[in-house]
């Protein structure tokens, strides 16, 4: 008789399950028992990797923030400021489910609000710098572009959002 060896869950497995639950169901799904059911294990495994739910939630938030800030660094590798702006928008659009979930969570959970605030400030700083590099110095344009990037990711299909933000960047370039 052969027995299948059970795969041990890792901290990352739990975080992936948490991201999926947050993105599809919302913060109410971030409970050890519900997550354990979702991935087919006991909540004891959860507590092996996390001291408590707040530590797990902080790890989720930190992971999202790190990913969002990494996208800013990746945009810096683009050959032009306009290409960097498009890359930033596409990154927000690609992570649309988590972006929306984090913003919704931020309305009721201060640590999520603090993280989204830091990400927003970093994005605004990079967008402002890229716009200045192409000759657009009106600070309101950076706010408009950041809001458009986030709003389009939340409100439209991924393809439509990419197309619309590309058109907006082209319009800004044409107006300078």
What band does 5 get if pLDDT is binned at 50, 70 and 90? very low
- pLDDT tens digits for 114-153? 999 999 999 999 999 999 999 998 889 999 988 988 888 8
Is residue 132 within 8 Å of residue 49, measured between CB atoms? no
- 6 contact partners, CB below 8 Å, separation of at least 6: none
Q: What is the pLDDT of residue 164?
A: 87
pLDDT higher than threshold 50 for residue 103: yes
- For the chain, domain boundaries: 8-50, 60-175
Average pLDDT, the chain: 89
Q: How many other CB atoms sit within 10 Å of the CB of residue 68?
A: 22
CA max distance for the chain: 74
CATH number of 8-50: 1.10.10.60
Kindly report the pTM of this predicted structure: 0.86
Burial class (CB in 10 A: 0-12, 13-18, 19+), 35: buried
Q: What is the pLDDT of residue 6?
A: 56
Q: Is the dihedral of CA 19, 104, 94, 119 positive or negative?
A: negative
Tell me how far apart the alpha carbons of residues 35 and 111 are, in angstroms, rounded to a whole number. 21
């Amino acid at each position: 008789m052969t027995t299948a060896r059970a795969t041990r869950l890792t901290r990352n497995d739990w975080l992936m399950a948490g991201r999926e639950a947050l993105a599809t169901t919302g913060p109410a799904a971030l409970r050890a028992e519900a997550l354990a059911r979702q991935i087919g294990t006991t909540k004891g495994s959860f507590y092996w990797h996390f001291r408590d739910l707040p530590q797990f939630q902080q790890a989720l938030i930190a992971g999202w923030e790190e990913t969002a800030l990494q996208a800013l660094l990746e945009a810096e590798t683009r050959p032009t400021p306009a290409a960097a702006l498009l890359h930033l928008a596409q990154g927000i659009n690609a992570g649309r489910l988590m972006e929306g979930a984090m913003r919704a969570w931020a309305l009721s959970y201060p640590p999520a609000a603090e993280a989204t605030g830091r990400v927003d400030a970093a994005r605004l700083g990079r967008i402002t710098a890229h716009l200045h590099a192409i000759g657009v110095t009106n600070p309101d344009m950076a706010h408009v572009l950041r809001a458009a990037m986030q709003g389009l990711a939340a409100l439209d299909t991924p393809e439509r959002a990419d197309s619309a933000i590309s058109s907006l960047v082209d319009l800004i370039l044409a107006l300078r």
